[in-house]
Amino acid sequence: MSFRAPVLLSTLVLFAYPLLAQGPYWGMTSSGGSFGVGTIYTITESNVFTTKHNFLRFDGSTPKGDVVKASNGLYYGVTEVGGTGGVGVLFSFNPSNGTYTVLHNFNSSTTGAQPLRGPVIANNGRLYGTCSSGGANNVGTLWEYNIGTSTLTKKFDFDGLTTGKGSTPRGRLMVHSNGTIYGTTQLGGLNGAGCIFSYTAGGVSNTKVYNFPALPAITTGNRPLTGLAQSGSLLYGFTANGGANGHGSIFSFNTSGNVFTNLYNFLATGAGRAPLSEFTAVSGVLYATASAGGSSSGGTIFSWDISGAAHADLVHLNNSIGYAPFSRLFAASDGQLYGTTSAGGTSNAGVLFSFNTGTNTYTPVLQMASLGLSAPWSSVIEDPSGTLVGMASDGGTGNEGALFKYTISGSVGTVLLPFSYANGANPHGRLFKASNGLFYGLASAGGEFSSGTLFSIDPTNSNFITRVHFDNGKGTIPLGSLVEDNGKLYGVCSAGGTANGGTLFEYNISSNILTVKVNFASTLVGNAPVNGLFKATNGLMYGATGSGAGNAQGSLYEYVPGGTTLTKRKDFLLATTGKQPLGDVMQASDGLLYGTTSLGGAENYGTIFSFDPGSNTFTTIYNFNGLEGGTPGGELLQATNGKLYGVFREEGQGFSGGIYSWDIGTATYTEEFDLNIAPVTDQGSLPQSSLLQGSDGMLYGTTTQGGSGGNASGAIFRFDPTSLAYSVLLTFTGASNGALPYDGLVPESAVIPQSVRLAAKVFLEGPFVSGTGLMNANLRSLPSFPLTEPFSALGFTQVGGGGETIAPSVLATSGNNAVVDWVLVELRNAATPATLVRTQAALLQSDGDIVGLDNNSTLTLPVPAGTYHVAIRHRNHLGVMTGTAVALSSSPTSLDLTTGLVGTYGTNALKTVGAYRVLRTGNSFRNTNIKYTGSQNDRDPILIRVGSITPNNTANGYFQEDVNLNGQVKYTGSANDRDPILLNVGSIAPNNTVTEQLP
């Protein structure tokens, strides 16, 4: 028999149906925006669109040339690869505020590709540089950048013809003292072995002033890989091949008569060879680095004495001090030369070194590994005095190199700009508004480890903060949306973790600490989670995996917030349940969870399913058939008309996706709207978003592709569920406003999850030991101890709760925190305490504490802060309720019912045992009183349980008749369950009745 309290209907409606959202609505795109990696935006019902944040990415990667400083105070440089075309960028960097700007994305077919060396500043104030490939002939270009107009212009294409301009320039340009620009090409020219050319700034062609001879080029060498340097009236440079020893040479070139002179032939062994940078002149002596050769085969620092025509290897490089230098030397204000090695030193990452020309002393001054960088190819500049600025081609938080500085006086290195770093990129989920008023979200890529980030954005001022950088340990590729419980956010990563199957993580909002709670593995619940988590009214969270588990196709799983284990609730199977749910589950007004799978089912177009969290029953309720839609995506929405609405990504009458509804009352599927039925083509396509119902009653969502216009990359739409009218509010176009929105919108005025925390304490008479002030915890060791709350099955009224489940591991705790049993906590209306507002099953510990399902956290109930009567009930002890309403809030409220200091409802609601108050035991019949004799008494069920014919039998297990909670039902003998009933009604008058003191 059960006695049900009346339900406060307004509260039930609050939890059953979504409130109409209030704009503006916030969303994200996974691509596009200023940096091409996504945006955060808002849109209002009146179609006012605002970009709130562009995810930042320092585009460009693998820089190998020097930077230059222009008269405007900015640094300018190039990267070899990266950018929208993948073949390099021209960039500027403002050292005063750290602003990085991509000025031009090189294009293989037009402006050129793979610029290796940095630009030079000509006398006209413009930048000039070369690309080593690309252009009209795919052998390089020479380009000009006008700083004043922010315009890059290709001035000419290298061509490789014998009568043409040369091909494949790999060396740095130089500006002669007469204003003419000189450079070299590795190939092309009259003999196909490279050339020296001159160029007048602003012109549209170059002039070959010297053609290197074809192989074997014994006397002069050929195929130069470096540029030229001026000393006096002559230019000096290197060839990479040929010469007397076949390893190139040092040459001079007189521009007045175009006279080429071979000065020195690099040796095959012992000495340095293969210089890959230009000379630096100091007091009539030229200095440079050789990338190979020398006594340790690591290259050398060498000199060429112009007056004495003498070559000398001054330092032989090796692994310990740095080797393989590719940079030219830079003469700093302290009188030292500085350069870099591409390898050697700590972690073989290369070094920045100084070289004293007076003493020939070489000193590594900065280990690149100390900055997380490696492979520096570039030289440095000095800005301001005493500070050197250079670039490394690898490492950094973007793993693609970095701009760095080194302060000479303090010997301190600092990364100024990590190339390819993003503070988050490609978000695929929705934002979540937490209890502190900030939005939180996940970016699937970017961050310091290129594995995604967790971020926040303040809706009041758009302040964006990257909170967590994911890595392989924390998990990689975070996806879906976040959910909050007790001040902590929970989410999943689809990869990474100890088994590389993804992780479930907890993020503490106040401490900014992320903790991995579960590492997904292919066994048990499966791996590669495919959507985020959803928190049901029973306090548990639900999610899905995409592979592994029983059928190797993933599963629906359950998670106790704060715990470290998962419980599998259903194995997905392609042919029956479907698999790969693209959206989170949700909970409808009937208490069931609803979700979709994107693949499989009877027609192989996906399914709609329901899941009963009370009975753990999974039911496939609809199979998509393609004709009426297929591949559903996004979380379902229960609209104010009671129907569930969702989107299907593919098929339908327009073969572009559409909108559908499911009537939970009549189990009816309706194809509400099909996108792009011919001849219409501009409604967007492939929707995958969750829907939102606005204050106007309309449904809002996004499509990942399509829309109006030639650059359509997704759309925001509005749908009227009554008139079935559909309209596109905005088309995404890429750089201007974003592209590819995967999930939907959330309201700025989203109902922030409200909850109260209760730190209650009670003792149950049955297991209580007055001498210790503790309760025995014998039940937890029983195989039959229920992992799901027992109250629903016994007929207790549930409001919002029911179906709470614990992990088996919580029963292993011993001592004061050992689990005694389940209790049911009821919050009742302050004015009419007979009316239930919220129920929630919780765990009772040996010392009387009532805690959450993880057997550790403070009990949290999802109701607004306010005053409530608090009732504590048990399955075979009489319940108790506070005599007055208690003020509850998000801060834990202590409520100790064991001392007698808290007033209770009714008369003698609690029993005194020594110095303590306890809930009376003996209600084995499960009603509202304790009786020893007469109809519906509590003694007879004990006799029946042990066997009426032999009352001295015992029954071991988790039974209602076990009123002393020792795990054994006994009718006679010591520690029997009959005597406590007799004692509670009064041994002298066994026909007395003790009534539960609840309204």
Three-state secondary structure call for residue 943 = helix
Give the separation between CA 493 and CA 547, rounded to whole angstroms.
14
Give the separation between CA 275 and CA 227, rounded to whole angstroms.
11
Give the separation between CA 521 and CA 536, rounded to whole angstroms.
24
Closest alpha carbon to 576 in 531, 635, 620, 532: 620
The label of the residue with tokens 């979504």 reads 18
Closest alpha carbon to 569 in 504, 618, 619: 618
Q: Which amino acid is at 563?
A: G
pLDDT in tens, 773-819: 999 999 999 999 999 999 999 999 999 888 888 878 889 999 999 99
The DSSP output letter for 794 is T
CA dihedral 856, 857, 860, 866 (to 10 degrees): 120
Tokens of 789: 């709350």
Q: Which amino acid is at 586?
A: M
Tokens of 551: 């059928």
Tokens of 518: 């579960």
- CA atoms within 13 Å, Cβ hemisphere of 214: 4
CA dihedral 207, 208, 210, 212 (to 10 degrees): 160
Tokens of 439: 């939005």
Beta carbons of 174 and 230 less than 8 angstroms apart: yes
Beta carbons of 525 and 507 less than 8 angstroms apart: no
Give the separation between CA 92 and CA 97, rounded to whole angstroms.
12
Beta carbons of 439 and 457 less than 8 angstroms apart: yes
Q: Which residues pair with 236 in a beta bridge?
A: 229, 252
Q: Which residues pair with 951 in a beta bridge?
A: none
The label of the residue with tokens 């190939």 reads 187
Give the separation between CA 206 and CA 189, rounded to whole angstroms.
12
Beta carbons of 237 and 227 less than 8 angstroms apart: yes
Per domain, the residue ranges of the chain are 68-418, 436-747, 756-927
Q: Which residues pair with 827 in a beta bridge?
A: 838, 870
Q: Which amino acid is at 877?
A: H
Choose the CATH number for 68-418 among 2.130.10.10, 3.30.930.10, 2.60.40.10, 2.40.50.100: 2.130.10.10
Q: What's phi and psi for 342, nearest 5 deg?
A: -80, -15
Three-state secondary structure call for residue 237 = strand
pLDDT value of residue 752: 52
Give the separation between CA 221 and CA 265, rounded to whole angstroms.
8
Question: Under 8 Å CB-to-CB from 194, ≥6 apart: which residues?
Answer: 166, 184, 185, 186, 187, 188, 211, 212, 222, 223, 224, 239
Q: What would you measure as the largest C-alpha separation in the chain, in angstroms?
A: 131
Write the DSSP string, 418-445.
ETT-BSSB---S--EE-TTS-EEEEESB
538: left (phi over 0), alpha (psi -120 to 50) or beta: alpha
3-class SS letters over 479-522: EEEEEEECCEEEEEEEECCCCCCCEEEEEECCCCEEEEEEECEC
Q: Is the dihedral of CA 940, 944, 949, 955 positive or negative?
A: negative
Three-state secondary structure call for residue 395 = strand
Helices (H) and strands (E) in the chain, counts: 3, 79
3-class SS letters over 526-571: EEEECCCCEECCCCCEEEEEEEECCCCECEEEEECCCCCCEEEEEE
Closest alpha carbon to 903 in 887, 889, 886: 886
Q: Is the dihedral of CA 429, 435, 438, 443 positive or negative?
A: negative
Beta carbons of 368 and 376 less than 8 angstroms apart: yes
Write the DSSP string, 789-845.
-STTTTT---SS----B--GGGGG--GGG-EEEEEEEEEEESS-TTSEEEEEEEEEE
Question: Under 8 Å CB-to-CB from 771, ≥6 apart: which residues?
Answer: none
Closest alpha carbon to 58 in 100, 86, 105: 100
Pairing of strands 488-495, 859-861: unpaired
Spans of the chain, pLDDT less than 70? 1-22, 217, 750-753
pLDDT value of residue 368: 98
The DSSP output letter for 817 is G
Sheet holding 99-105, edge to edge: 68-69, 75-79, 89-94, 99-105
Q: Where are the beta strands (DSSP E) in 124-180?
A: 127-131, 141-146, 151-157, 174-175
Give the separation between CA 272 and CA 282, rounded to whole angstroms.
20
pLDDT value of residue 10: 30
Residue 830, Cβ neighbours under 10 Å: how many? 16
Q: Is the dihedral of CA 697, 700, 706, 710 positive or negative?
A: positive
Q: What's phi and psi for 443, nearest 5 deg?
A: -105, 130
Sheet holding 330-331, edge to edge: 330-331, 337-341, 351-356, 361-367
524: left (phi over 0), alpha (psi -120 to 50) or beta: left
**Where is 652: in which H helix or E strand?**
none
Residue 955, Cβ neighbours under 10 Å: how many? 18
Closest alpha carbon to 266 in 224, 207, 228: 224
436-747 belongs to CATH 3.30.70.2740: no
The DSSP output letter for 9 is H
